[in-house]
Structure 1
Amino acid sequence: MKLNVHERGSGDRVALLVHGGHSLGGLALALAVDRLRPGRVVYSDPGFSLRNVPAAATAAMREMVGSSTVEGIRARNPRWSEEDVAAEAAGFGLFDVAFLDGVAEFDGAYLPERAGVPSLVQLADPSLCVDAEGAALLRERGFEVRVVPGTGHCIHRDDLEGFLRSLEGWV
């Protein structure tokens, strides 16, 4: 685990361990949170309910990962910084598309039964993997759910300021 330290202000210091997971990383984090036992968790448009993903999306993802160029990523995501475009291209270069076969076998109706630790779920508008019914269930199960208006699945890249605002008062 990589530890990032950020200091704000002066005076006494408090250490807060926050784990975060985006997309399928959020799903993996939800499955491990009881063993990790962080102080807080942030799930950013987590891949909880994969049944909500259109059937053709997996084939489209394979195609996108295999054939994307920096120019194509930039054209699909005009609000992204050049650094985000480059990071996405680098990530696609490392992605093992066989992973998608394993995802296809996972329970598509998964939603965590309980938060376990204080947990924030940031949702895109609309979310790819958590619909309104799923968001309501998460709230009932103890999750704080915040929608970041006008964003797609990569909230932090689509609207960094909105992403950070959604964390206010929480982290």
Structure 2
Amino acid sequence: MRLHTREWGTGDRIAVLVHGLMADHRTWRQLVPVLTGRGYRVLAVDLRGHGSSGRGAYAPHLFAQDLLETLPHGPELALGHSLGALALALAVPELQPERAVYSEPAWRLGGPDGTLDPAVFTLFKRAPQMLIRSLRPGWEEREVAAELAALDAWDEMSALALSAYRAADHMPEKPFVRSLVQAAEPSTLVDAEMRAELTRRGFEVRTVPDATHAIHRDDFDAFLGSLSGWL
């Protein structure tokens, strides 16, 4: 499936951005001007079932296949968050970016111990604006509006379908390309044992203390700081 894609900038360098579950390309609002300011042409997709992209069957390999059908081969930078990091990791061996950044990757959809059920996120589909504001107290009004718009456009069946994969382990055996894993501290998806194993496998791992899962939205300065040398 070819994905709906937003594009910014006219630089020769290409950066591709892949959002997480329940979000869409709007999640990268703060990062896009940073990248275009560094000479990148930025491509941000809406995963299947999200934003303006099509609906269909949902499985990790299908999310990855869509990236390969949509994105140019060999971008300089590829960055994925959560579910987007899972899809990106599966696509990287063929996509072959120069550098890959996996922010809070959902390589174990059920969390380190397999007890997290992606289906629980369907509860957010009908979350009232007041609840979103209470969960994101530091967000500006336009961020809240973007979150609500993304939830409205999201097909909750994607989370229900991913429940079947929560026991699977998609952590890459090796980086394939120069790769950074960015983890919140504490993290529900990337615990200390997993970070140690990723380091052993050849990934660079950086933690962002006192961050939430959506590091790039809740603490953008810390998010950007942890990407030093990777943009």
Corresponding residue pairs, total: 164
1:148 aligns with 2:208: yes
Tell me the CA shift for residue 109 of structure 1.
2.6
Which residue number corresponds to residue 68 of structure 1?
A: 127
TM-score, scaled relative to structure 1: 0.85
1:47 aligns with 2:103: no
1:157 aligns with 2:212: no
CA distance in 2, matches of 1:110, 1:73: 30
Tell me the CA shift for residue 56 of structure 1.
6.1
Q: Contact between 1:115 and 1:143, CA under 8 Å: does it hold in 2?
A: yes
TM-score, scaled relative to structure 2: 0.65
- Shifted more, 155-164 versus 16-25: the winner is 16-25
Match runs of 1:1-171 below 5 Å? 2=7, 4=9, 5=11, 6-8=36-38, 17-52=76-111, 55=115, 57-65=117-125, 67-106=126-165, 107-171=167-231
The percentage of counterpart residues that share the same residue type is 43
Indicate the RMSD between aligned Cα atoms, in angstroms.
Answer: 2.1
- Name stretches of at least 5 consecutive residues in structure 1 with no aligned partner: 10-15
Give, as a single letter, the amino acid of the residue that structure 2 aligns with 1:111.
M
Give, as a single letter, the amino acid of the residue that structure 2 aligns with 1:51.
G
- Name stretches of at least 5 consecutive residues in structure 2 with no aligned partner: 12-35, 40-74
Find the residue that maps to 1:28 and give its secondary structure: helix
Find the residue that maps to 2:226 and give its secondary structure: helix
